[in-house]
Structure 1
Amino acid sequence: MATSPESHLHNLRPIKVLGNGAMGTVFLVHNNLTNSKFALKVVDKSSADSNSDRRARWEVSVLRQLNQQPHQFLPSLIAVFETEQIIAWAVPFCSGGDLNVLRHRQNDGVFSPAVIRFYLAEVVCALKHLHSLGIVYRDLKPENVLIQSSGHVTLTDFDLSRALAGKKMKTLIMSEPEMNKRRRKFMVKLNKVKTARVTPMTRRNGSLSGERANSFVGTDEYVAPEVVRGDGHEFAVDWWALGVLAYEMLYGTTPFRGKNRKDTFNRILTMPLKFTGKPTVLTDLITKLLDKEPTRRLGYGGGACEIQEHPFFNGLRWDLLAEVVRPPFIPSRDDGELTCKVDCFTVTEYFKKLRQVQSPLEGKSPAKDDCGYNVSFTEF
């Protein structure tokens, strides 16, 4: 991986921790050379997750591809850094937070249909571009839909995505006994899994080979039935997740959430979709996206174009969507400098400081930065 000549880790001052994920830590950093701010995702090579290095390199490769074929609702790659201890890459900072935070700020914790229409439309455009590149996203959820300073969305986190050679899934013919056997095998595995986000190695529109992915990845409440069954999957899993996203934006909860992950997966496979109130064009869209049979799911045959033609989006100027100057929410300002700061000079010093703290697995409390964020390498 090449290091940007304009930027180096020693010139990056952490402002705050934006979040900790299954793979690494995301910082808001200030570049002392260019006097600019951006988000920096850092993955520790000594992570307990042996797949983190591979997933990090894959995400960087996706971002490099997006630099070559950019899209207004997808991130660009600003720079990549690598040392013996860490891999880090910089992307634009989205000052509006994510869709989950924004929803909880609403008085009743849900969005109006008009707001849902706007955000869904932009997500559809982002997925359409990824699919045109042969990439299935596989991790759509509110936390991964960020709000740019302009008020428009951008998707984030591509470590669970997958490149597929073909753009159309061939129909898989399977006998009922074989299907039941697969389900039984899956439920045995399910009881052994404890994490909410399953990593690729522990199991998350029209053309040639119809290649499928068989890995079990994603976030529990957003996982498509074909992934749960282990049938093999392709781009239709993203349209299922879009339906779950729309439902959560409308009702404030996901449609198949259970008492635990086993119950959640059982509901995804068997429970009918339920709505409150009278049917609307939005509930019709959600119903068509949440068809448990992928070959009947909206978007399976015609991709994003099929979804864009649904009556819920009637009258929408798709070609002018990025030019909307008054999205539903526009961040008032970039408040990064107004938040508590990380008490160290550089990103490398921050991680060096963390390595000096005893692991919480040895009976100690998790390390905390000076803003009070829990940070532990065992979580990566």
Structure 2
Amino acid sequence: PSLATIEKAAAARIFFETKYHALLRQPQSRERSRAVFERALASLNLPDSERRRIRAAWLESQSRYLRELRYRLGPSSFVKLKTIGHGAFGVVSLVRERGEGQLYAMKQMRKADMLRKGQEGHLRAERDLLASAASTTRWIVKLAYSFQDVDHLYLVMSYMPGGDLLTLLIERDTFPEKMARFYAAEMVLAIQETHQTLGAMHRDIKPDNWLFDAKGHLAISDFGLATDLRFDHEGRYFHQQRQELLHEHASQPNFGSTGSEASPSILTWRDQQRRKKAFSVVGTNNYMAPEVLRGAGYDVRADWWSLGIIVYEMLYGYPPFVSKNRQDTRHKIMNWSRYLRFPSSPEVSREAQDFIASLLCDAAERLGTPLPPNKPTSAILGRRGPLLVQAGPSTEPTSMAEDGSEEIKRHAWFRGIEWSSLHLQTPPFQPKLAHETDTRYFDDDIPAEPLPAPEIAPGVPAPVTAHDALLRHPVEGPHLLEVRKQYAFKGWTFKKPSDPVYDPRNGWRGDIFGGAEPSRGRPNERVSGPGSSFIRSLSV
């Protein structure tokens, strides 16, 4: 068979294995959204007849959603209004959906660039995690659609008109401690949701990736480096599929080989990847944990280190280990105990400093790490300081869901935070928007094209190289790239229900209760009428 035929066969194998692995091993999106809906419904004081009526409305919305899936979307389904961000692989645009009129942020990525860089695993992880979060999470930016054309992949997400945290930090330099504490609390909930609901590590927690909605609440974005340690979210998996078929059937058995020994079978490889730690050194320099830089394996605790860096930056105006170059920054991170210092100005409370110090330390001592059961007064407890409200020793974590977030929420700095109703409170920063398409919190001079390729000299772009030897072949490479663009992303399409009965971030649909006044047992939480703010924002 030709190399193009082998490429198509590999794409078919990848599609069927990932599809049926998901069907057999993972809860389906409808089951997850039903569980979220039932938890929200159970929290309301309603008669059984009302519960039956609301469940019937949910089933009707699901039937309507299945009909909506028949309609195909593409770039022409949206009107581009403005470019609001760009990167090395694509751009983000503010768009309006034709017909519906809804505003979205559309991320457009070039297939050729992503395939040359071996980013299939990262791309699938981002799309799958965002699709899973679309109807089950509150603190993660919502994915509405994903689709593709010949040259590009598209992710259409909720538009967050308040801009990002980095822009606000640049504008204000530092935050008052009360403001920093409020947003740190929202970040804790978002990271907890990423770990426990999605079962993933974000691995790129930084101010750029925290976005403000129209009310001033945060949501976490950009899951391009996130991992849930699934085999089909690893780039090596796709490479091995192609290599196996190549070695079995190609007339040139060594073509594209890396010179390594024969790889194990796909199923054996997949079983070997069932691990609890990641090893790839990924992230943004100033926010990377020391265990990530060491490359010896890390887990969800690396995300909490990044949170500690952001809290320090909100209070003091700069990251604690910032340096003139990457090497010096990494040296300081690796030797954090020598370089972590708290300036005398601005004045910051002892509780805030203790919280930061409890996150910016070695992973074994980090806040949220389970204490050894037989050593409740060990040196680890001493390192965490006296300001943690203790709940006793615990056992070793067995999954990402055991991420230590509850212990972090018990820290003295968060005393007084109403975690369950934080999304109902008025944020300290409220975007001043003149109209729905107001983009004042985004730069005005963002080019409509992706960032230019890196240069080896002024005016001399670096040569375009591919990680995969097949794509580097001078004769077959260009044709194989076109074949891969056509087949590599089968199953990319996603569509979120357009009118859900319940959404974790936006609450209940305005017409669900009519004149009813459901409550959750607290007299100060009453409904003032159809579509009231309480009904729209009920906590799960």
TM-score by length of 2: 0.53
Separation of aligned partners in 2, 1:72 and 1:266? 37
In the TM superposition, residue 321 of structure 1 has moved relative to its aligned partner by 0.5
Answer yes or no: is 1:309 the counterpart of 2:410. Answer: yes
Structure showing greater radius of gyration is 2
Secondary structure of 1:244's aligned partner: helix
Match of 2:292 among 227, 230, 254: 227
Q: Deviations along 1:53-83, whole A, 9 cap, x unmatched?
A: 4422221100111125x22211221011111
In the TM superposition, residue 5 of structure 1 has moved relative to its aligned partner by 2.6
For 1:33-72, what aligned pairs fall within 5 Å after superposition? Answer: 33-47=99-113, 49-68=116-135, 70-72=136-138
For 1:12-91, what aligned pairs fall within 5 Å after superposition? Answer: 12-47=78-113, 49-68=116-135, 70-91=136-157
Match of 2:365 in 1: 296
Asked if the contact 2:77/2:97 (under 8 Å) is kept, the reply is yes
Separation of aligned partners in 2, 1:12 and 1:334? 23
Alpha-carbon distance change, 10 to 4 in structure 1, aligned in 2, over 3 angstroms: farther
- Extract structure 1 runs of 4+ deviating beyond 4 A: 1-4, 358-362
Alpha-carbon distance change, 128 to 52 in structure 1, aligned in 2, over 3 angstroms: same
Secondary structure of 1:87's aligned partner: strand
Match of 1:374 in 2: none
Match of 2:206 in 1: 141
Separation of aligned partners in 1, 2:131 and 2:359? 30
Q: Deviations along 1:301-327, whole A, 9 cap, x unmatched?
A: 261111100000001110111111x21
Answer yes or no: is 1:96 the counterpart of 2:197. Answer: no
Secondary structure of 1:15's aligned partner: strand
In the TM superposition, residue 331 of structure 1 has moved relative to its aligned partner by 1.4
Separation of aligned partners in 1, 2:223 and 2:279? 17
Asked if the contact 2:88/2:453 (under 8 Å) is kept, the reply is no
Match of 2:189 in 1: 125
Match of 2:180 in 1: 116
In the TM superposition, residue 25 of structure 1 has moved relative to its aligned partner by 1.2
Letter in 2 for 1:281: E
Q: Deviations along 1:58-117, whole A, 9 cap, x unmatched?
A: 21100111125x2221122101111110000111000000011112222xx100110111
Structure 1 unaligned spans of 5+: 166-208, 341-349, 366-380
Separation of aligned partners in 1, 2:331 and 2:342? 19
Letter in 1 for 2:148: E
Q: Among the aligned pairs, what percent are the same residue?
A: 33
Match of 2:493 in 1: none
Match of 1:330 in 2: 430
Alpha-carbon distance change, 335 to 253 in structure 1, aligned in 2, over 3 angstroms: farther
For 1:109-258, what aligned pairs fall within 5 Å after superposition? Answer: 109-132=173-196, 133-164=198-229, 211-258=276-323
Match of 1:274 in 2: 341
In the TM superposition, residue 150 of structure 1 has moved relative to its aligned partner by 1.8
Secondary structure of 2:303's aligned partner: helix
Asked if the contact 1:140/1:242 (under 8 Å) is kept, the reply is yes
Separation of aligned partners in 1, 2:280 and 2:436? 38
Separation of aligned partners in 2, 1:273 and 1:335? 44
Match of 2:534 in 1: none
Match of 1:177 in 2: none
TM-score by length of 1: 0.74
Letter in 1 for 2:315: L
Alpha-carbon distance change, 25 to 308 in structure 1, aligned in 2, over 3 angstroms: same
Secondary structure of 1:162's aligned partner: coil
In the TM superposition, residue 281 of structure 1 has moved relative to its aligned partner by 0.5
Answer yes or no: is 1:5 the counterpart of 2:71. Answer: yes
Separation of aligned partners in 1, 2:134 and 2:219? 14
Secondary structure of 1:227's aligned partner: helix
Asked if the contact 2:321/2:329 (under 8 Å) is kept, the reply is yes
In the TM superposition, residue 153 of structure 1 has moved relative to its aligned partner by 0.5
In the TM superposition, residue 294 of structure 1 has moved relative to its aligned partner by 0.3
Which has the larger helix fraction? 2
RMSD: 3.0
In the TM superposition, residue 11 of structure 1 has moved relative to its aligned partner by 2.4
Q: Deviations along 1:172-228, whole A, 9 cap, x unmatched?
A: xxxxxxxxxxxxxxxxxxxxxxxxxxxxxxxxxxxxx86110000000000100011
In the TM superposition, residue 21 of structure 1 has moved relative to its aligned partner by 2.3
Separation of aligned partners in 2, 1:157 and 1:91? 11
Separation of aligned partners in 2, 1:320 and 1:136? 25
Separation of aligned partners in 2, 1:223 and 1:327? 28
Match of 1:199 in 2: none
